[in-house]
Chains A and B, each alone.
Chain A
Amino acid sequence: MQSFKKPILSLMALLILGLGLNFGFNAFIQLQAKFIIINMILAMSLNLVNGYTGQFSLGHAGFMAIGAYVAAYLAMNWNFLPPELSILSYLLFVLVGGLVAAFAGFLVGKPSLRLRGDYLAIVTLGFSEIIRVALLNMDFLGGARGLAGIPGLNSFYLDFVFSSLWLVFCFFALWRLIKSSHGRGLLAVKEDEIAAEAMGIDTAFMKVKAFVVSSFFAGVAGGLYAYFVQFISPGSFTFLHSVNVVIMVVLGGMGSMTGSLVAAAIITILPEALRPLQEITGVDLRMVIYSLSLIILMILRPKGLFGELELPEVWRKYVRRSA
């Protein structure tokens, strides 16, 4: 079908990239690549809520945790296919993890999305922390020690293909949602809720919709994380992780999907890029620099890299103009 052309091409491009990474680079770079993909999914999904719908969620890590634990638990206890076909069952498990996270998003979103911006931020933060504390106390899920020995695909290339599938799905799902009337409705909610309601937009439903879709993909990212790292604990999904995703969304530009992609890559690589500094000074200044940069970013360039524009428009605006 016509509509599959772009997604398939993108997927193929990623698969070729994956081959290159597989044979041309070391395990460390390969791991970074996998994390970049996970962060891209996290950033794009949070952008849907924070950037496009204008609601401030600080609880993304909580939904990621749900997806991760569900996918991990299923893989460890319910793996019904033979090992050669395990990629199919993992596909299913990640999907289930995403759906459970989406349901949690619905439960959290429905009562809270009528709250004002800063209040909503606190509720989502609170929810995420409650999830973490609950997981700490669930011994059948490992409690504080976490879940180790989660089975995975045990091959970089398979991991990469697997996550690329989800990345392409996430990107096109969100992109096409935004370019539709439903997406415009989200923007209307961000711009002016009262005017949007007067023009027939069910703002409450729109907000919950964005939240549910966003939580779904956060859960998916969690599942991917579980299969790649093969160890998860409540400590992997803290408030700081939520803040990390917020930083990605802000850096890329709230309201720019391609911006989120770029920012996710930058933020994933940044700690490693700053490592030489640590070696020179002897102290870990990375988080200090990180937080300071966030402050400076908000004061000097709150629009982030792309603002509300997408890569093609940015290209046209800044590059071709001088040509």
Chain B
Amino acid sequence: MQDFVQHLINGIGLGSIYALIALGYTMVYGILQMINFAHSDVYMIGAFAAYYVAKWTGLEQHPGVGSLMIILVSSIVVCGILGILIERLAYRPLRKAPKLNILITAIGVSLFLEYSGQVVFGADPKVFPDILMDSNLFNLAGVEIKTLDFTVLTVGILSVLFLNFVIYKTKIGKAMRSVSINPSVAAMLGVNTDRIITFTFVIGSALAAIGSVLVGMKYPKIDPLMGMMIGLKAFVAAVLGGIGSLSGAVLGAMIMGLSEEMVVAYLSSTYRDALAFGILILILIFRPAGLLGKYNVEKV
């Protein structure tokens, strides 16, 4: 039983991380109807930004919540800027082009970031510094809750709640929702669609940055290709929940995280990655709209 609770906690933790990344995919899809292949690589850059900030400022010598905050903020800033650059330079010129073109460009950006990362950072994995000392925090149902797991959970949940607040309780959030429903009408009503789209990318990238720092803390090996697998799983999570739907992304991510943890724990770890593909294929064949999404039918 204790093992089960531990797996449950791990699964939820994993799910929160997937959620942070999945939200980025789903928001961009909701507003531009494109799959941002490069999202997982922005995530990767976030991890490396955190790594280099920790190293250069010597923060790795001073683990603690304060350092964590500084590193999170730096990573968020770097990813946010990267998100803006990608949107402006690679995607905006293709706003009016066929969807296929922007998809191919996104693949190009993704490859560009991965290969540049290999050239600049070196292809070998780096060890993420200890930003927080891992220790037993408290006891829940007979299971020791560790600092890292607790941090992952709280930061993850707080970020999702914050996003929820922004989207549903602020003016800019309302603008985002309107642009995703009908960009031309939103523009006519005075919404600066370009800025909203940029803002969407910034938020998505920021969440990815947070996710990357959390992952770096929990699984300290980072390398330029670290985005691929997790990006795929987060994307599947977004599709599973219904791409374009925020709550769907979170729901899908939780399901992905928990199922992965359970499969590895009780079945076999060789199926860890194949599980994601399997779920993806099943969803797209049987329920392409996802659990909470709507598959739009073309008007004739």
Contacts and interface: CB of A to CB of B under 8 A. Distances in A.
Contact of B277 (A54, A56, A130, A246): A130
Interface string B92-114: 01100111111111011101100
A310 interface: no
Interface stretch (B43-51, B198-206, B278-286): B278-286
B27 interface: no
B119 A288 contact: yes
Nearest to B35: A118
B94 A122 contact: no
Interface stretch (A34-42, A96-104, A213-221, A292-300): A292-300
Interface residues on A, range: 35 or more
B3 interface: no
Interface string B114-146: 011001000000000000000000000000000
A298 B104 contact: yes
**Max chain B Cβ within 10 angstroms of own Cβ: one of A123, A283, A291, A295:** A295
A126 B108 contact: no
B90 A295 contact: yes
Contacts of B97: 298, 302
A69 to B, nearest CB: 18
Given A119-B284, A294-B105, A302-B101, A129 B94 contact: no
Interface of B, secondary structure class, is helix
Contacts of B101: 298, 302
Nearest to B105: A298
B284 A130 contact: no
A292 to B, nearest CB: 6
Interface in A240-264: 240, 243, 246, 250
Nearest to B116: A288
Contact of A123 (B102, B111, B119, B284): B284
Contact of B281 (A56, A123, A285, A288): A123
A133 interface: yes
B112 A194 contact: no
Nearest to B91: A299
B220 interface: no
Contacts of A294: 104-105, 107-108, 111
Contacts of A56: 100, 103
B35 A291 contact: no
A126 B104 contact: no
Nearest to B271: A133
Interface in A26-57: 50, 54, 56
B112 A295 contact: yes
Contacts of A133: 273-274, 277
B115 A287 contact: yes
Contacts of B288: 115-116, 119
B243 to A, nearest CB: 9
Nearest to B299: A194
Interface string B188-204: 00000000000000000
Given A117-B99, A122-B35, A298-B102, 10 more contacts: A119-B288, A130-B274, A137-B270, A283-B119, A284-B119, A288-B112, A288-B119, A294-B111, A298-B101, A302-B98
A-B complex: 5 closest residue pairs judged by Cβ atoms:
A294-B108, A291-B111, A291-B112, A295-B108, A287-B115
25 contacts: A50-B100, A112-B285, A115-B284, A115-B288, A117-B103, A118-B34, A118-B99, A119-B288, A122-B280, A123-B281, A130-B274, A133-B277, A194-B298, A194-B300, A283-B119, A287-B111, A288-B115, A288-B116, A288-B119, A294-B104, A294-B111, A295-B109, A298-B94, A299-B93, A302-B98
